Structure formats: C-alpha cells, structure tokens
Chain A
Amino acid sequence: MATTTATLTLTSSDLLTDSLSLSATSTLYDAGTTTGLTQYEMGRVTVPSSDTNNILIDSTAAGVDKGGRVYIANKNTDETHYVQIAINDAVLGRLYSGDWMFIPWNQSDAAGDIEVVCPAALSTTCDVEYAVFHEGKTFTAA
C-alpha cells in the first residue's frame, strides 16, 4: 500500500483580531480502511471558453462510494478569471486565478462527474491542473 498525505495550512494575521493559524493533515485511505489509496491520475488541461459544463474527471461505476480525493487548481493569472466547479451539475463554487480546492469524492453514481466551466464571458481559455486519487475506475472498451 502507499502512504499519501494531504496537508492544509490556513493562515491570516488580520482576518480576525487574533491570528488565524490552522493546520490539518489527512492520510488518504481506501474507504473505511487504513489501507492507502494506490491509484491516481494527474493532468493539466486548457478549458475552452464556453458556458457548457465540461467533464473534467469522469465518474465510473468502480469508484462509486469509494474513498476518492480530488485536487483542482486554476492556473490562470488574471484575477478576474474563474472556473466554475460542479458535481453532476450541482455547482460548488468558483475557483478564481490561483485558487485551489481539495475534496473527498465518493462518485455517488456514474453521473457524479466533476465538471468545469470556463465562462464564455471571459473570452479566454482557462488552464486547470487536477489530480484524482482513487480506488479504481471502470474502463471503457476500445
């Protein structure tokens, strides 16, 4: 088995009266076990400017109700550029340039894809990096 960890450090000296310093580390296990996730996929894509939902990470039957994790980052640099992230058309939020996100992803069903939109109003493409750590996926025959 593999050992993969994800650590968050959230800090601010002036968001609150007192300093905010939060740290959290999780080890990425298969669902309900202490066995480390052993499969992953990483990528960088240029998302075309369009209001269409695009599948960034495809949900498959083999991943349903498993212990997947997803990392996504918007690599554009203009502060007005954002990508909208959704799961099966349910919008989570907007990643503005430089923003990242990290979530568990249980692929509730085969339609539970991770979707991305680079809005047409931006009139430019959006560069997105992502990584998905998972327990397995269903392959499609060629």
Chain B
Amino acid sequence: MATTTAAITISSSDISDNAIAISNTATLTKAGSTTGLDQTSGISRRTLTGTPATVKLIDLDHYQGQTLTENKAAKVYIKNTGTSTANHVLVSIQNGAGAAEEIGMLYGGDWMFFPYSAVWTSAAHANNQDIDVISSHSDSVTLEYMVIYE
C-alpha cells in the first residue's frame, strides 16, 4: 500500500490581536480503512485560453464503470499556476441534477484540496459530478491538478 500525506498550515500574525496558526496532516486512506489510497491521475496541467468557456477539468468518464470515486475517499488538488490577482478561474461541481454548483474562485497562486466522492451515472454527463472550470479572462491560464483515489 502507498503512504501519502497531505499537510496544511494556515497562519497569520496580524489578522487578529493574537496570531493564528492552523496545522493539520492527513494520511490519505481508502474509505473506512487504514489502507492508503494507491491510485492517482498523476499531476496534470491544462491551459485555458481564448474566449472563456466551461471546460471539464475532471471528467468522470475517465473512470467510467469503475466507481473509483463513488462514495469513497478520493481527493482532488487544483492550483491556478498564474500570477494574476485580478483574473480568476471559477471551479464548479455538477450537483447530480445536471446543474453546476459554484465552489469558488482560484486567483493566481491559489490552490484547493478537497474530498471527492463523485458518482458516475452517464457517459452523456447527464448527472455526473464532474469538476468544471471557466476562466474570467481570455488571457491564458494554466491549472495543475491531480486526483488521488482507490
């Protein structure tokens, strides 16, 4: 089995009268077990350019019929590798009823890491819980992303 750890540190010395420091380390395990997640998409890069349009960054069709994420403990990492603090990439997830629910905006240098228990239902993406992105600007922006699953 693989051992993969994800550590986060959130810190600020001046957001309040007292400094804050949040620190946590997770060992990424399969759902309901102590066995490590052992499969990954690997680090991928995708560049968005031109007229902004919705792009399926993480397409559950890649996992069709294998239920690699369904109600399990997969994790997703996405980073906006750009430097612009004015332009962003909006990240959304399909809500299972065919509509996109916005998660949030990644500006240049921003990253996100979250659990992903998406259910694959249709090659036509009817109700897939794909991860979609759309840039706020026609300037090129490159995203790095990875799925770690079982």
Contact = CB atoms under 8 A, between A and B. Distances in A.
A4 B43 CA distance: 26
A95 B7 contact: no
B95 A90 contact: yes
B66 interface: no
B49 to A, nearest CB: 20
Contact of A79 (B15, B33, B118, B146): B33
A20 to B, nearest CB: 7
Nearest to A83: B115
Contact of B110 (A26, A80, A95): A26
A110 interface: no
Nearest to A88: B101
A14 B104 contact: no
B10 A105 contact: no
B104 to A, nearest CB: 3
| Interface residue tally on A, bucketed by range | 35 or more
A25 B80 CA distance: 11
B2 to A, nearest CB: 4
Nearest to A109: B102
Contacts of B106: 104
B141 interface: no
10 residue pairs, one from A and one from B, having the closest CB atoms? A104-B104, A93-B115, A90-B101, A90-B95, A4-B12, A108-B102, A12-B4, A2-B15, A93-B117, A15-B2
Interface of A: 2-16, 20, 22, 24-27, 29, 31-34, 36-38, 40, 42, 65, 67-69, 71, 73, 79-80, 82, 84-85, 87-96, 98-106, 108, 112, 131, 133
Interface of B: 2-16, 20, 22, 24, 26-29, 31-34, 36-38, 40, 42-43, 71-77, 79, 85-86, 88, 90-91, 93-96, 101-107, 109-118, 129, 146, 148
